[in-house]
Structure 1
C-alpha cells in the first residue's frame, strides 16, 4: 500500500488545530482589549469631571502665593473644605495638590493641600501633612518624574502607579497662575486594584470559555472529517490498492473484483456528490457554531457599551452627568453654526444642601438631591437634565418644552416654593431650588456657553433674591 508523505488525516488535524488555536487567541485578545479600554475610559472621564469641578473653584493666583510663601489664606482654607467634601462625596482614594521638586528618590514632593475624610480627621490620620510638608521617601523617582512631566503639560494627563498605598490611577491637572507659571498639580487618585481584579477574572473566564469551545469545535470537526471525508477516501484508496495488488499477474478473472466500501451510493460520481453535499451541510453547522461564538463576543461588547452608558449617567440621580452635557454641547454648537438652533437653558441650584449634609448627614443630603431632581424630571419630562455639580443641574429645553418654557418654569417654581414652605415635611424633604433661565438669541449668542452663562447669572440673581427674602 502506498505511503504518503503528507497523509490527509494528519494534514487536516494540524490545519484545523492551528486554525482553532489562532481563532481562540484572536478572540481573547480582542475582547480583553475592548473590555479593558472601556473600563479605563470610564475612570478617566470620572477623574476628569472631578478635576474640572475642583479646578473651577480654585483662585489660582491666591493659591500660587500660598505655595510661594507657605502660608495659608482664607481662600486656601475654603478650598481645603471643598476638597474634603469632594473626597467624601465621590468616594475617591486621594485628592491633593502637590508641587514636584526634583526627580530624586527622596525629598522630591512639596505638599500644598491634601484632602482628608471625616474619619481621617477624627482619628488625626496624616494630620502632619500640611502646606509645606516635603515627602521624604513616599514617591519613587519614576513617580516624581511623572509629576514633573505632568506639571510641564498644559492639559490633563494620567498615570498608573504602584506604591505602598496600593495601585492607583492618577489624573494630573497643572495649575497655572495669571503670569503663566505652572506652580502645582491638582491630582486625583482612584484605587484600581479592584478593576484589575475584574479584568483578570474576566480574562481568565473568557480564555476558559473560548478555549473549551475551541477544543469542542476542533474535536467535532475532526470527527466529521474522519467520518465523511477521510474514512471514505481511505477505504476507497485501500480498496483500489488491494485490487491493484490482487490484479497484478492475476489469471483468475473471477478474482478481479473491486471491493468498494459502502458509501451509500450507486456510483463514484454520485458518492462524491453526496460527500460534497454532506460536507456543505456539516460546514454550515460549523459556521453556525462560529456565529454563536461571535454572538457571545457581541454580548460582551454590549456589556462594554452598557458600561460606557453608565459612564455618562450620574450614579445618584440617574440623570446625565457633566461628560454627557459636554457631548450635547457639541451637538448644540453645530446646530448654532448651521442656523437651526432653537433652545433655552435653565440652571437649577439646590439651596441648603451643605446645611443638610452638616446637620443630618450626607445620606439625608443625597435624599435631598434625589428628591429635588425627581421633581425637576417630572416637570421637564421631555427635556434632558444634567447634573454638572454636587448641587447644580442644567435643563436643556427644546421642541415642546421650549415652546412651553415659561409655563414650565412657573410650574416648577411654584412646586419648589410650596415644598420649601411645607413645615409638615422633614427638612431634607422641603426642597428649595434657585432657578435661572436664558433663551438662545441667534444675533448675540455664538455658542451654548453664552446661553449657559446668562442662565447661570439669572440663577445666582434669583438665589441672592431668595436669600434676601429669608433675611
Structure 2
C-alpha cells in the first residue's frame, strides 16, 4: 500500500508539474516569439526604408528635379497603370532618344540643366523615373511581405499629404485607357499621424511608429525624411502587418501546448502504471546503485548490479548496460579528454587561418579584407547611434621611385617604416594596409577627439625620419595624411566618410605638387 500510495502521489505531482510547466512555457514562448517577431519586423522596416532612401537619393539632384516637375505637372502626366521592367526600359529609351535627338553629344545635368530642357523631354524623363521608382517600391513591398510603402510630401500649412509614389496604384480612365491616378492628396491629422508629422517637422528619423487598424489590418508605420543634399523633400513611409501574425503565433502555441500535454499525459499514465506493476523494485535498486556510484565512483557497484540481473526484462537490460557503462567510463573519460584537446588544437588552427586571411604579410597589420570587416562592424555601430567615428588615410609618396632606384625590398622596408609611424601615432585605433602604398586608421574614442594633435604628431615623425642622417635614404620616407570625421548632416554611411577622406587626400597631394610646378 505504501508503494502504491507513493506512486499515486508521485503521479499527481508529476501530472500537475507537467501541466503547469506546459502552460508557463507556452505563454513564455508566445511572448518571446511575439517580441522577437516585432523586433525583426521593426528592423526589417528600417532596412527597407534605408534601401528605398538609397534608391531615391542615388540620382542626387536628378530626383529633386523629378519631384519639382512632378509637383507642377502631375495633372498632365499620363503614366500607364500596368507596367513592368519591359515598359520601364521602353520609357527610358524614349527619354534617351528624345534627348539625343535634341542634344547630340550633350550630357544631361552637366552640359545642360534639367530646367533648360523642353517640356517634352522633361515629361518623358519624369514618366520614366516615376515608373522606375514605383517599381522599386512595389518590389520592396512584395519581397519583405510589407503592408504598404509610399513616398509622400507633407504640407504643414494645410495638414495634408500628397502621395508622390504609392505602391497601391489607383487608376483613372482616359479614352478607355487605364492610367495611374497621380497627386492624390488626403488630410492627415497630427493626432492620428503623430510619428509622420514628427518625422517631417524634426527632419530626423523618429524612434516611434504610427499604429493603424483599417481594412488592411493592424499595421505599424515607420517614416524616414528624405534629403537631397541639405534640402528636405519628403517622407518615405513603410507599413508592416502585426496583428495577424500575433494571432497566428497564439493559435500555434495553443495547438502545440494541447498536443504535447495530451501525448505526455497518456504516456505518463501508461509508463507509471507499467513501472508500478513490474519494475518499481528494480528501479529502486538501480537508483541506489546510481546514487552510490555518484558518490564513490567505485567499480564494485557494477559487479553488484550484474549480480542482480536475473532475467531479460527492460530494467535488467538497463542495469546491465549501466554496469557496462561504469566499466567503460574510465576509457571514455580518457577519450573525451583527448578529443577535447584535439578540438582545441583544431580551433586554434582555424583561428590562425582566419587571422592570416585578414593579416598583411609584410607589415603584420590587418589588410583590405580586415578593413572591410571592420567597416561592416562600424556601420552597425553607426546604425545604433555611433557618431564619434572618422577615417585617416596615409599614403607613402614616391614608392615607385624607391622601388626603381633601390629595389622592391627597400620599398618594403619603407612601407614597414611608415606602418610603424602610423601605428605609433594612432595607437588607440585599428590600422590597416588597404593598398600597396596606402594605410587607413579608423578613428574612435581618444584618437577621434585628438585627431588634429595626432596628425601634427605624425607629420613631425615623418619630418624627423627625413632629417635622420643615420637612416638609409629609402627609410627617409615622405608621406601624405588626410582625414575626415563623421558629419551627421551629410554622412549616412561610412562610405561617405571614406569618400571625403579621399577628397582631402587629393587636395593634400595637389598642395605637395604645387611648389614643384612653380
Give the TM-score normalised by structure 1: 0.41
